[in-house]
A and B are shown apart, each in its own frame.
Chain A
Amino acid sequence: MRLASAGPVAAAAAALVAAAALPAFADGYWLSIAVTVMMYAALATSWALFSGPTRYVALSTGAFYGIGGYAVGLGMSDYDLSFWSMALTAPLIATALAALIGLATLRLSGVYFVIFTLGLSEMVRNLVSWVQNNFLGSRGLYVLTDFEEKHIYWMLLAVTAAVLVFGWRLGRSRLGFALRILGDDEEVARHVGVDTARAKILLFMSTGFVAALVGAITAPRYYYIEPNVVFSPELSFLVVIMALLGGAGRLWGPLLGVVPFTLLWEAVTVSFPSAATMALGAAFLAIVYLIPDGVTGLVERIAARRRA
């Protein structure tokens, strides 16, 4: 994705303006779908920045997202802090946690990292519930703001745009180059002097930051925050599916997966709620067996065959 000409920049800017104008045309149901799409767009794009090149399936999104939402609820409800100060603090907490997890697991084989993140959101939820019940009193936490859906939408759009710009800059930076080598062959990367653990930990921290920020921004949608609501392991899996469906190897890939899958998932959970878990399983299997490189990979393969 080399931006040699002004064309792609103009296209991206036009897409941004179009996306920002959406609340003028959509309201109610469709705006709420758009908020969900934008939320997953930010989460999946940021997820792919780390998991795309390293191919480590991170299942920590739900945990960081929950930390964001819970921190906002706790700060606003119990300590009378403003939404903004908590929305700034929560991502820093998540980034610190991501650094610790990264230090413990990312220096070892990738499988340990996947396993560690698998139960993470459940474990953090247990811990938070325990702390809340024993030390904070089991009152619920309320997030009362003046935000409407469209404000949340714009904030999420800004985050998504920022993640895309970050990803684009990263692709042209030393760290991004190091990650690409690392993704091809970790052994080679180490031999040419890449500090592989450092590169992985830094990128993982960035996904933790974004997930918590998104969790904080969407917290006003819940009004009432409870650990069981914000720490959802399902969220982690949905983000993985969407990113892989679009293709985690390209910056724009996850966006291509987010839009169709959010609509599909919305339809499934509304019409056939009891089949949702099975549908999630079927989606994973379909991606592994039918489109292992996502939609972008499929398109590229077809294009390559045309040329040949």
Chain B
Amino acid sequence: MDIVISGLLLGGAYALIAMGLTLQYGVARIMNLANGEALVLGALAAFWLYTMQGVSPLATVLLIAPLAFAGSWAVYRALLLPLVRRARDRGRLEVDSILATFGMSFFLVGAMTAIHGEYFTYSFLAEPVRLLGATLALNRVVAFAAAALIGAALWLWLERSRTGMAVRAVAVNPEAAGLVGVDVERASALAFALGGAVTAAGGALVSTFVTLDASVGVLFTMKALIIVIMGGVGDIRGAVLAALILGLVETGVAVLVDPGLTLAAAYLIFLAVLLFRPQGLFGRAGA
């Protein structure tokens, strides 16, 4: 039972990160491999503010989200939009964006290592609570609740607001969205910036119960990518379910077999998805 509950809680945090990536890839068509670094930046901010100023990581979320939004917006406008405009086809854009975001990823890792080269260790709400017969750390529960709140807000905004509808239209078909009067470049920039904000917020939350360092971003990128593909690109519902599955499987493997094999477990899931459901959990074949 412990495994199931902690697995689901971990999955909640993964879901938030994967939502960020699915917005960036599904809408803005940017395969952002620096996504994990946005997460680590959020974690670094939370660690920094908590140990230096005693600011609660939950307050940091409110601070880091707008900052990450602005930063991601600027990155999209200045660095990625030129690639979108020069790309002859989607394949070319994919290669360019992969290489460019690799560059950003390494650059950020180097910069963050220079700022703080050690583990981001701090202790926030590390007290036990009992929940559904399992004993859990309070910080995991709080992080999950915050992630669920942010995720729900994002989903409501996408489903109910006019701008959210424009973003979803671009996800389905950028050309058609442009024909019905959606400003595609603006909607893409918005989705990319929102994705960065959500990911950085997720990083601040994850850092309350996972000890990170400047170089772990790529592992989270990898997991977010696996979740996005498993859930179906651009499908938020699928991403949430996939994140919970990954959280469960990873926790199970870490507890029952060996903590060193969580990445291998993620790969196993990835392989199964590629072989049996490459269109995503809820996707239809050929869609």
Contacts and interface: CB of A to CB of B under 8 A. Distances in A.
Q: Which secondary structure dominates chain A's binding surface?
A: helix
B104 A285 contact: yes
B229 A112 contact: yes
Closest 8 CB pairs of A and B: A278-B110, A284-B103, A281-B106, A281-B107, A277-B110, A285-B103, A119-B222, A280-B106
Interface of B: 31, 33, 79, 82-83, 91-92, 94-96, 98-100, 102-111, 113-114, 218-219, 221-222, 225-226, 229, 258, 260-261, 263-264, 266-267, 270-271, 274-275, 278
Interface string A123-161: 100110110001000000000000000000000000000
Contacts of B113: 274, 277
A104 B275 contact: yes
Given A57-B99, A278-B107, A115 B229 contact: yes
Contacts of B107: 277-278, 281-282, 285
B94 A288 contact: no
26 contacts: A108-B278, A112-B274, A115-B225, A118-B33, A119-B218, A126-B261, A126-B264, A130-B258, A134-B258, A240-B99, A276-B110, A277-B107, A278-B106, A278-B107, A280-B106, A281-B105, A281-B108, A282-B103, A282-B107, A283-B103, A284-B106, A285-B104, A285-B107, A286-B103, A287-B99, A292-B96
A285 B100 contact: yes
A196 interface: no
Given A130-B258, A281-B107, A281-B110, A288 B267 contact: no
Nearest to A119: B222
Nearest to A57: B98
Contacts of A57: 95, 98-99
Interface string A158-196: 000000000000000000000000000000000000000
A64 interface: no
Contacts of A127: 261, 264
B39 to A, nearest CB: 15
Given A104-B275, A123-B267, A129-B260, A281 B104 contact: yes
Interface range on chain A (Cβ under 8 Å from partner): 35 or more
Interface in A100-122: 104-105, 108, 110-112, 114-116, 118-119, 122
A244 interface: yes
